[in-house]
Structure 1
Amino acid sequence: MSEQSTYKVTKSDEEWRSALSPAEYAVLREAATERPFTGEYNDTETEGVYSCRACGAELFRSTTKFHSHCGWPSFYAPSTDDNVELIQDTSMGMVRTEVRCANCGSHLGHVFEGEGYPTPTDQRYCINSVSLKLAPTE
């Protein structure tokens, strides 16, 4: 886990605020979390590609999405490991692994391991819907 000092897509706070809705900005740029079971993609089963809502970089594919019943969209792997950045998060009195877009540094959610889900990786990328944009497969 490491934190990149530079990203391919960089904008000032003012530019991010003008490009994103208040809810998107809060999650993507301030690492907020949307309320569970309220996100647009929580129960979506549409086939396609999930990209970063801030910069459009591909992050996940529907083929790795699964129902974890945790309240947020869950994936067992990113489309490629290079598309996400994993960073140790010690906020809220616990140690977790934050998931960010490797292209622009936007906060996406967290990844958890060893929870016993029947997935090939035993990982759950717990991702805020508001940080994603789904492009359905035609």
Structure 2
Amino acid sequence: MWNVKGPYQGGVWKIRVELPDAYPYNSPFIGFVNKIYHPNIDEMSGSVCLDVINETWSPMFDLVNVFEVFLPQLLLYPNPSHPMNGEAGALMMRDHNTYEQRVKEYCEKYAKPEDAGQATEEKSSDEELSEDEYASSDEAVAGQPDP
């Protein structure tokens, strides 16, 4: 768990991690389970657009790097010029204050500790995971604020 400064501070997210058979030679799939407003995170699927995970992954990296370096840096330094969420990217470039307000609204609405715990339960009632899919994924909670 990590505490992020800036507009995401105080948000708690459940992160879906899927390890491919060729891990660590192939990168893991990383996705946010509960909603987050961010230029480089798809709002619907939670998929993360981050070069170091998607394109330049190295077997030298591990999940500790993902949770302690890559994701906190992504939240601190979004890249609005290569968005997965075009609306968030455009808003960040056009009106940074309104963008930060929208991030805070999403944190208050979707990223409370109980949201991170309930998101998977809601999803599992909507769509069944096969045993293979369930066995190949792991989830972690990220972003819990300091007490």
Asked if TM exceeds 0.5, the reply is no
Larger strand proportion, structure 1 or 2?
A: 1
Q: Normalized against structure 2, the TM-score is what?
A: 0.24
- Larger RCO, structure (CA 8 Å, separation 6 or more): 2
Larger helix proportion, structure 1 or 2?
A: 2
Q: Normalized against structure 1, the TM-score is what?
A: 0.25
